[in-house]
Amino acid sequence: MHPISPVKGTRDFFPEQQARRRWLAEKIRAASQAFGYHEYEAPYLERLDLYAARSGEELVREQSFVFQDRGGDWIVLRPELTPSLARMVAMRKSTLALPLRWWAYGPFWRYEKPQKGRSREFWQWNIDLLGIDSPWADAELVAIAAHFFRSVGLGPDRIQISVNDRRLVERQMDSLSIPKDLRPEVLHWIDRRESSHGSQRPEALVGAGLTSRQAEGVRGLLDQRDAWRNSEELAAFFDGISAMGASDYVVYSPSIVRGLDYYTGTVFEARDTTGGLRAILGGGRYDDLVGDVGGERLPGVGFAMGDVVLSLILEETGAFPDLAPAPTQVLVLSFPEVSDAHSVQLAGELRAAGLRAEWYPAQDRVPKQLKYADRNRIPIAALLGPQEVEGGQVTLKDLRGGTQVTIPRAEAAATALAWLAGPATSS
């Protein structure tokens, strides 16, 4: 039907949707800055080798947009930010003052099969605290997430942040005498057990090489809701969460392990408590990441949140405000008897006074021009017809209330500003 369609997995943002995206970006900025984080940004294009360091080249090639540039180098449209962050920090480590609190919100690309809550082009909030080992650093990141959810109107009844600690999980595996080489498989089993609907039975673990007693032990771990008390780190973490006022959002969950290999301590994810427990953000502590790209070891903790699932939830809950304010404050109408130059000059005078002004770029009938202003929620119309030009005047009409005045042209901007500053005038 359409000769040109958008690239699969991308989204168009018409003005109304873009306004929502701006609103969301502003909430993200506000939450980040409220905790003293600095905004940064990395290139959208990175060398393939950057990801090969830990993801495996094959994985990146299959699930990222990869191409060869004209010089033959393999380039990736960045699928995530953390390796870029690690690279930037490794480059400047000696001059950067720790701790580092950095955040970014920008586009990412993954070559996936698009479906609900997943697209090939998305925006992602990344926020990290580098250089601090303390569990309170982990707590701060989770508290930022809670702060953000609160700020967009998503309460703890709707959002829950589940936390676990890889170090605790490792000790639990130790106590079950589970061999190191089987642990990735076990973690994967745990991860899938609660996140997907497919019922993962302990027998699958036996199939993977565990004894039935070990498999039963792993299953039993998932019921120990108080196991965090056995973890010094998690106990301190929850003290921090409490002090930061985020306890209502946060819960210990033995089944959260996260897929990423680079997490070394806490792992956490925020989920929608309705709608199938969709994951909204995920993060954790990674103490070796910077070292992985060739820098010195640097402890860090952070999380990433995509805009796709979150936007779905915000739409469901009606959290997006009904915005779309008019960019234009004054519309200068056109008249056949008056040259466009006059209209454009008047618009320029209004802009010089600090107003946002546009001129109607065609000589349509006045009712149509006013209708245009009305539909675009432009509050004030300026009429510069032959009568006004002759008398050096301008007619201003307040479309919100209907008040209309004809005044000397020099007073037009001041009058419009006064109207906009006060409540809508009425006649």
Partner RNA sequence: GUGCCCAUGGUGUAACGGCAGCACGGCACACUGUGGAUGUGCCAGUACGGGUUCGAAACCCGUUGGGCACCCCA
Helix (H, G, I), strand (E, B) or coil at 405: strand
Q: Among 96, 120, 100, 101, which Cα is nearest to 110's?
A: 120
**Contacts with 333 (C-beta within 8 Å, 6 or more apart), sequence order:** 343, 359, 360, 366, 369, 370, 381, 382, 383, 384, 385
Q: Among 167, 93, 166, which Cα is nearest to 130's?
A: 93
On whether the CB atoms of residues 152 and 158 are closer than 8 A, the answer is: no
Shortest distance (Å) from residue 226 CB to RNA: 27
Cβ nearer to RNA, comparing 19 with 53: 53
Q: Which of 51, 103, 148, 419 binds RNA (CB under 7 A)?
A: 51
Residues 127-186 that bind RNA (CB under 7 A): none
194 binds RNA (CB under 7 A): no
Q: How far is CA 207 from the centre of its chain?
A: 40
Q: What is the DSSP letter of 113?
A: -
**What is the four-CA torsion angle of 88, 93, 99, 100, rounded to 10 degrees?**
-20
Cβ nearer to RNA, comparing 76 with 178: 76
**C-alpha to C-alpha distance for 313 and 137, rounded to whole angstroms:** 28
Cβ nearer to RNA, comparing 112 with 248: 112
Q: Which of 23, 53, 90, 112 binds RNA (CB under 7 A)?
A: 112
3 binds RNA (CB under 7 A): no
Cβ nearer to RNA, comparing 17 with 404: 404
Residues 354-373 that bind RNA (CB under 7 A): 364-368, 370-371, 373
Binding mask 306-345 for RNA (x = CB under 7 A): -----------------------------x----------
**C-alpha to C-alpha distance for 303 and 258, rounded to whole angstroms:** 12
Q: Which of 217, 388, 412, 413 binds RNA (CB under 7 A)?
A: 388
Interface segment toward RNA; rule CB under 7 A; list 37-45, 136-144, 391-399, 412-420:
391-399
Q: What residue has token string 């930037």?
A: 88
385 binds RNA (CB under 7 A): yes
Give residues in contact with RNA (CB under 7 A): 1, 5, 8-9, 51, 54-55, 59-60, 63-64, 79-80, 82, 110-118, 188, 192, 195-198, 258-260, 262, 282, 335, 364-368, 370-371, 373-375, 383, 385-388, 395, 397, 399-402, 404
